[in-house]
Structures are given as structure tokens and as C-alpha cells.
Amino acid sequence: MRARAFGKLSAAAAALLLVCLFACLLLPVGSAQAEGTEPWYYAHEYLDLRENGAVRTEGARLAASAAQSGAEDIVIAVIDTGLDLDTSWVDWRAALVLDEGGRFLGYDAYGVAEEGMDPEEAKKQDNWQDEAGSGEYASDLHGTKVAGSIALTVQAAGLFEHIKIYPVKAAETGTNKFSVKAVAEAVEHAIEIGADVINLSISSAPKYVSAWETGENAERLKAAISAASEKAIIVAAAGNDGADSADTLYYPAAYEEVVGVMSYGVDGGFYSGSNYGPAYDIAAPGESIWSGDHYTTGTSMAAGLVSAGSAVLMLNAETRALSAGAQMPRATVLSRALISAGDGSVSSPDGAEVPVLDIYAAMTLDTSELGGSYLPVTGIEISGTAGKGSVLSASDENALTVQTVREQFGQGKSEVTLTAKLRPYWDADPAEYANIVWTVEEFEKDGEDLTAVAGSRREIGRGEKLTFLFEETGIFKIKAEIAGEGGETFSAEMSFSVAYGQWFGSEAHIVPADFVSSEGYADGSGKVPSEAVCYRSGVSLTITSIEDFDVADVSWYVDGRYAGSGEVFDYRPDSFGEHTVTAYVRLNSEGGSSVPYKITGSFLVDSRSYAEHPYMIPVWCAIGVLILTAVVLLSLSAAKKRAARAAALAAEEGGSADDPVKESPIRKERAVPPPYEPKGGRKKKN
């Protein structure tokens, strides 16, 4: 065995495993039951899993060949409700993937997808354990039962050492409630850890089928399954409503890359509760399968047995490829080989002969003869969605309403997204998809008859996918065509009746013309503008929603006076101030033009001079600074001029304005005599 991302078994663990395996080989199949009871499930004879049966003998040979060639462990990812390790009817340590430390490995995809759990936290055993619950959707340890039936089948084939189980929980803890988002996360994780087989013993309910067909989560799941099918065999239960796939599809079994499993019963006939039809591929025992302490019936158990058979086929193919130095066949080739390996069949309620699982044939099939070549194209189908995800019909005429820009009203734009699928499913060369040609053609209706409009057919795309926007009314057909190897042409088409919608005045507003090309208008997130300011300029106005109607004419009025016509009105105010713009719309109809519809609300145009423009604020500031600077400079200049004149005057008088003042020799300052007082002092007055 070569190491995977989860590591090899330690020497001690490997030794313990061999001891357990040897002990198992000495015990009767289904040793968890008391001696003398019935085998662990009725199909031991149908699948030849008896103690001394051919499968056990061939299994021993395959195990020896796998060990000698160094074949890698085949890992089955069981996407379900988790796994309860406390159950004792299976030797889980021998059955499950272990890390280098001998710890069980698994993953809680539901926790990651729906609860925001960290992916590393999701790998902890406590998070992916299966738990019983209570209530309407209570878990009955469904995942444990499915994984257990797989483990017992592998054990009965003697291949415990080479085929391992990796549990992935995709349901809410304690319930059987799965989400498409969680299943997508689970499949993606299965790809990441390198699973060779992916078991999906789950099935959509009819009322929730659209969640598996359209929408973000469905697209994510389909992309994950498509990617996984290149490397792994994907197996899913067809469901237990006794329904024909021609009436109702059950997913994920109905996805083209998935091996859909029906079930047959104890009597060897088709089980009445199993879904059936051409959407599914193979039948396996599904009635009274041993589940620890009781028997379980349903396509879930049948799918588990097919997953075990798929793992056996994978191990067989890998061993042969390694021994011959050849490449491993594609997973899609092995899926087809698994379905057709045996000779047996069972009649389904629709009269079809359904191939049944043959584990011995899967063990002994010479996979080197399968080859890896693709098969010639034998047909083509198309499917698709419109607007916000409504599913299109391939057989009936699809009604669309012209909506070329907006996405926020009704069902979205009148845009279709179509996908072609080549037959045979899985085995048509992917390179052939580039040769698909898409065309559209218009038709005229004469009573019940359709006649193609001459010259209207044109090519609109190539490849697997097409996106096309209907901008005009009429009856159209979109066709996908591809040429076969023998010169024949295979085609598929869809019909569309495209009409104008009903006029809603609440959706019509006068707006600037550039608003209708904005993202805010397309998705409804933008606020509808109702006014504009013009600075000696004009504004182009239009009306929301008229791009999706057959407009006869539009009349425009400014301040109550007629000002022009047309879907776009280029208005340039001839005076400053506020002006009110209104409009009337008339639509074309079968009996002529309709009465004019007045557009609710008006549009205000405020016409101003350039001087009032906000961009002029820095200009005015700059002018102010210049004026202030000029004043300062002029003041300084005047002061300098005054100083210069003073200097010139002083020079004319023989001096300089800076020379010290000279004292006049004849004009000396006189001393001021003190006040006169008579000798003897002042006389007193009597």
C-alpha cells in the first residue's frame, strides 16, 4: 500500500489489523450474530459472498496480487449522517482509514458548509460522529448502517486490507436533514482526500428537486460531481418512492456522472418501493440488509453494496495496470464496466431489463481490455435556465418577457443560459464539445403551424454552453448541432415565445440617460435620480423601463410647454433658474397606439451660471489670494517710494537724511532763569 495524505498504518496497527483479519477469516460471514442465525443479509447467495464461495476465493487471489503489485488502498468516501464508532457489529478499526497515529479519519462537511466550522475542526472525531436523534427528521444512524453494509461486504470478499472507508457527515447532527450546500462541500472534500469511490445513499424529495437542479449550491454540487467523476466512481441511491424517472427525477442519482442504484428484493424480483427509469443505471440487493441489530430496506443499502463492488473493480483495475505497466482506465470507463460486467438483470416496472450488481464479475474482469478511448457521439441534449434561474423546458414552448437591462423585477432579464450534453454520457470525447454550433431562428405562426422566417437563422455561439439575450418579441428556436463520425448530424432545440411585458407606471421615471446603463439600474440597488444641476450646459433625459417596450412616441414638456419628442430628450436650458420636465409615453399595440401614459413625477433641472459651479470655489479663492497679494505688494511699493522721495529731498539740502542734526552756533538754547524772589523773602499779606 502506498501512503496517502492521511498516512500509513503504524507497524503495531498493521500487525493488529492482520490479526483481526485472520480472525475474521476463521469466523462465519456476519460473525456479529449469534451462531446458528441467518447470514448477515439475504443477498449472500445473490452476490456469492458465502464463506466458501467463488467471491471469497477470487478475493484472496486479488488481495495477494494487490499486495505484490503495491496497489494503493481503495478509499470509499461515505457521504451520509456520519458514523457511530460505538457500534460493535463492525470492526471499524479494520474498516476505516487511519492516520499515522492510528486515529480514525473523517470530516464534518455540514459543519463547514452550514455552521461556519473551521475545516481543521471538522476533522475531529467528535464532529463527524453519527448520533441518533428525535423528532420528525431524527437520525436513525443511517450513515452507520450504510458504512456497515459496505464494510461487511468488503470483509466477506476478504479485502479488508485493501479497501477502506472514509466517513463524511453531510447532515445536521442528530438528523437525516441534508443540504445541497453540505453535499457539495462533502464531494469536494472527497476529491481532496483522493477518494476512489464516493457513496451517496441520499435522495432529494420531489418538492425540493429544484434546489438540486438550479441555483448557486446546485451548480457548485454539479461542478464537484463532474470533477470527481474523472477520478472516482460516484454511486447514489435512486430513492424509495416507487417513482418513474420519466415523471420525477431524484438527485444526486439522476446526475449523468453518477451511477444511480435501484434495488431488488428477497424474491429476486424488482423491489416495489424502489424508484426506477432510464435516469438510473443498475440494481443491487436492497431488502432486509443486516444493520447491526435489525434489517434495513431501501436503495440506500443497495447503493452501499454497489460502492463496495465499485471498490473491488477499482482494486482489480489498479492491480492489473500496475502489473502491466499500463495506465489506469478512466473512472467513467470503469463506471460503465461495472454496470455491464455481469450477465444478470431484473425487470423494472417500466418493462426495462436493469443490469444487476455482480461482484465476482468486477473481480475477474480483464480491465486491460477496456481501453481508454472515447466512444463516438450518438446524440445531443440541451437544458438550461432563464432569468433568475427558472428551469427551461426542452419539450414545451418557453414564455419569456422582454427585459434587456434590469434584473430586479419579475424573473430577471430575458436571457437564457443553455448547456449541451453529448451522448453517450461520460464517454463522449470532451474535445467534441468545441464542435457544437448554436443557432437561433425566428418563426411565424399560422394557426397551429410554424413557418421559419426567411433569412432569420444565424449562428450565435459554439461550445458546450451558450448565453443569449432576447431583445425582440417573436417566436424563436435555439438549436445545438454537432456532426457525427459517419457524417450524420445530431441536434436538439428549444422553443421560445418572447413578448413585451405589461406597462407599470410605478417603474417609469424620468432620469438622466446614463443612469439606465449603470449597475444600480440593472440590479435595483441604485437610487433613482430626480434632479440635475446644469452650469450653462444641458442634460440628456430618458425614461426607465421603455427599453423593454414597443414605444410609439414620447412627448417632452418643460415648465408645461411642449419641448420635444423621442425616447431621449437632449435639454439645454435657455435661462437660469429651476425648470420642471415632464413626459408622456404612447406604446404601440395591435389596435394602434395606446393612450398616452403620463410619467409619474417630474424631473427638476436647475440651470446656473459657471460662476456658481462648485469647481469655481478654488478659482474664487485663488483670485482672492491674488488680490490680497497685490494689495500687500502695492503697499510695500508705496512705502518704498515715500522713503525714496525723502532721501532725495535731504540730498538737495546738502545732507543726507541719515546725517546727524548739527547744532546752530548762534541759536544756542537759553537757560531759563528761576522765578524772581525779593530779598528777605515774600511779604505776607495783611
Q: Which residues are catalytic?
A: 80, 142, 300
In this structure, the number of other CB atoms found within 10 A of the CB of residue 660 comes to 7
H or E element: which one contains 453?
none
Spatial CA neighbour of 610 closest among 675, 553, 536 = 536
| Chain CA centroid to CA 310, Å | 29
Please state, in angstroms and rounded to a whole number, the distance separating the CA atoms of residues 388 and 410.
9
- With helix as H, strand as E and coil as C, how does 307-352 read? HHHHHHHHHHHHHHHHHHCCCCCCHHHHHHHHHHCCCCEEECCCCC
- 83, 143 Cβ separation under 8 angstroms: yes
Residue 493 identity (one-letter amino acid): E
Residue 405 identity (one-letter amino acid): V
Please state, in angstroms and rounded to a whole number, the distance separating the CA atoms of residues 337 and 375.
14
- 496, 436 Cβ separation under 8 angstroms: no
φ/ψ bin of 248: left (φ > 0), alpha (ψ from -120 to 50), beta (otherwise): beta
Please state, in angstroms and rounded to a whole number, the distance separating the CA atoms of residues 337 and 370.
8
Please state, in angstroms and rounded to a whole number, the distance separating the CA atoms of residues 511 and 520.
13
- 597, 505 Cβ separation under 8 angstroms: yes
Find cell 502695492 and name the residue. Answer: 634
Please state, in angstroms and rounded to a whole number, the distance separating the CA atoms of residues 40 and 149.
9
User: For residue 437, what are the CA distances in angstroms to 463, 583, 620?
Assistant: 7, 45, 64
In this structure, the number of other CB atoms found within 10 A of the CB of residue 174 comes to 17
N-to-C CA span, the chain: 152
| Chain CA centroid to CA 3, Å | 33
Please state, in angstroms and rounded to a whole number, the distance separating the CA atoms of residues 128 and 170.
9
